[in-house]
Amino acid sequence: MTQFSPVAWDPLPAPPLSGDLEKNDLLASADLWQVQGVGPEDVIVTQDGSAIVGLDDGRIVKVSEDGEVVEVANVGGRPLGLEWIDDEAIVVCNSDLGLQRVTLSGEVTVLADRFEDQQILLTNNATVASKGTIYFSDSSTRWPFADYVTDLLEGQATGRVFALSTDGSLSLVTEGLRFANGVALDANEESIFIAETGAYRVHRHWLSGELKGRTQIFLDNLAGFPDNLTFSNGILWVSLPSPRQALVDLILPRPMLLRAVNALPDVLKPKPVRHGIILGYNEDGDLIHNLQDRSGRVAITTSARVHDGRLFIGSYMEPHIAVYEL
């Protein structure tokens, strides 16, 4: 049994939701598409504008704007990140069962679930290069997805990112992250953006060029917990399921308090605040889009993906996705 062993970390003061991050309710106007289930953590979009999502019961479903929901496959476990491999297949980051390939006809194949003879414990998010390499995050080597709050409180930097080549070989891209989460390639596939949820930051790891192999901080001291990332038309979309919480920041540098909070029943542990936040940055790190919903109608915003002028927003707790007109 894994023992809770907290690592003290003193975060910078949280930036206020003012100025460029001024609170707003732009996302409250989004349409809500019911998914006939719970927890569409990530969203991909078909050519006809339908959404494909993974739910907490293991189902992958296709959701049409008219309300029709059709099951594509049941992958078991807990599907999180989704990406297209080609027109007929998607990659599913199954937090419990590893990286999977799922065809639109329902066939499920495991692509990777072990590294150096050890189980990949928390497969979270992926991005697929044009030549077929799949980059994906493993959030923790210590705690499964069901214990993600424990991992964030503990602060052990065991998160990592892998590259799965088309020949089936698996290599380590980078490691030492406090809950590695969203990943997204830039437009030229020269670098990969990586969300480090437990440190409130996004990294940029270079895959080619003079900086190949180097990891730089791209966004630091964010106002919330960064989750999934997508990159589209020069914009990196960063989903924040919750704003920062003063109580969490207070206890992070205090191992005794971390132990006390972790020992509480789950119902009493810190939870996401129902304040949706989606931010869009250009490649220079300038904030271009500040989309929020203080009302809680669009909340626990874990993913955002642009398609045909609309932003499709996922949530790992809600019974719907949100679709916002940009």
In a domain, 179, yes or no: yes
A 10 A CB-CB count for 287 gives: 14
pLDDT in the model for residue 1: 83
CATH of the domain at 166: 2.120.10.30
pLDDT in the model for residue 316: 96
The 10s digit of each residue's pLDDT in 164-220 is 999 999 999 999 999 999 999 999 999 999 999 999 999 999 999 999 999 999 999
Q: Determine the Cα–Cα distance for residues 135 and 129; give it in Å rounded to an integer.
A: 8
In a domain, 279, yes or no: no
In a domain, 18, yes or no: no
Domain that holds residue 137: 59-273
In a domain, 283, yes or no: no
In a domain, 196, yes or no: yes
* pLDDT (average), residues 102-129: 98
User: Is 64 a residue whose pLDDT tops 90?
Assistant: yes
In a domain, 319, yes or no: no
pLDDT in the model for residue 116: 96
* pLDDT (average), residues 62-79: 98
In a domain, 13, yes or no: no
Indicate the number of domains in the chain. 1
User: Is 66 a residue whose pLDDT tops 90?
Assistant: yes
CA dihedral angle for residue 238, residue 244, residue 250, residue 251, rounded to 10 degrees: -60
Whether 52 contacts 90, CB under 8 Å? yes
